[in-house]
Chains A and B, each alone.
Chain A
């Protein structure tokens, strides 16, 4: 297969970026999208040019490191997958493919397609956990958790922190990300103890990091590779109400 790639190149956070055009040929439809970029990079290196900087690690859709805005969509045209799980068979021979980094004030570009998502870590640090010291845990089966509650908590906990929700949201809002953690922990009996401070602090950090607000468009849920539902955002809102009124 043959493609024309329009790739965002940007030397550093302060530099101006622009799209660079590359054509690439001899691509197998079984190749993953990132392998296609690997092929391009090997060629660029051989030609003495600077390869395209992009991130990936596990390449099986769980670490959350990869994330490209491909043809106007977070993680590309397919649903329920990360960029590393996208294959070239999802494109037509001869396609023009636009590749851009996540764009948000809270995710400044580091280089080319790599952005700084440390804002997510700072949100998590402000309460995305249960305060239990090693060794002070009670016997695991002493608190039964209804199966459906555990399952719902799990659904929220599958967030991989890739940032697709922010990337696709017209407001660059991190609500789904924050909601996933708040909801996961608020559902479980172990997490209820700190629920009030947790939601208040995490939301405060979310705002100071410069993410937008939620307009309930549902774009995040549609592009989330783990299909995390915006019902968790509703729970986040409830948690906020509970936290501020009681």
Chain B
């Protein structure tokens, strides 16, 4: 019965939106933890937090779910994209059909792919050394080191801009795909989506900038 829900192109959109919203929730949790980095205690609180995150069994289970959600989100996106590409084998010579659509909505697969690349690099920098291998450094030290590098910080900031674009459309689109549309509430959801897609990446983006500029203040 559940299988039917996720079948067909509408079913796939439902997978996209459910996983997407779950990932949004993850962003909130992730950011709230990361904000500890901004606490001026030399990383004590953050290290405690990251220790907790890597040992708590509940978190471990959530991590697996999270990974699965990413996977489903990505694979479904690829499948949908292929289907969509195939649905129009011949392009228009002159195509201005975009005039009424937002840039963000047209570029979901691209912003998504780029965010995915970011994710891989991000995991390689933080997750892999600390969770798969036992790094000598504390998590805080790794973060600090990474963000004092202008390239890494720049890369991180660009990724957050892309994430903003992705969320700008993705957040409210998820509600539409789930059929949650209402004359009164949809405008609210849209505003919420805009706020979310700006504030969350902004929060994430502040951290590398904080570390990057802080090194010059000493």
Residues on A lying within 8 angstroms of B by beta carbon are 6, 8, 19, 69, 71-74, 98, 100, 103-106, 167-173, 175, 200, 203-204, 206-207, 210-219, 222-223, 230-231, 233-241, 243-245
Asked whether, in the complex, the Cβ of A173 is within 8 Å of the Cβ of B84, the reply is yes
Given contacts A204-B8, A234-B180, contact A19 B93 (CB under 8 A): yes
- Judged by DSSP, the binding face of B is helix
How many whole Å from B188's CB to the nearest CB in chain A? 15
Asked whether, in the complex, the Cβ of A217 is within 8 Å of the Cβ of B9, the reply is no
Residues on B lying within 8 angstroms of A by beta carbon are 1-2, 4-5, 7-14, 80, 83-84, 86-102, 105-106, 108, 169, 173, 176-181, 183, 186
Given contacts A72-B94, A168-B97, contact A206 B4 (CB under 8 A): no
Within the assembled complex, what's the spacing in Å between the Cα atoms of A171 and B177? Answer: 15
Given contacts A172-B84, A203-B10, A204-B8, contact A215 B94 (CB under 8 A): no
Cross-chain pairs A/B with CB under 8 angstroms, 26 sampled: A72-B97, A73-B97, A100-B92, A103-B92, A105-B86, A105-B88, A170-B101, A171-B83, A214-B10, A214-B13, A214-B177, A215-B106, A215-B173, A219-B97, A219-B100, A223-B100, A230-B176, A231-B183, A234-B179, A237-B10, A237-B176, A237-B177, A240-B10, A240-B179, A244-B7, A245-B4
Asked whether, in the complex, the Cβ of B181 is within 8 Å of the Cβ of A216, the reply is no
Partner of A218, one of B1, B100, B178: B100
* Chain A positions within 8 Å of B91 at CB level: 103
* Chain B positions within 8 Å of A238 at CB level: 178-179
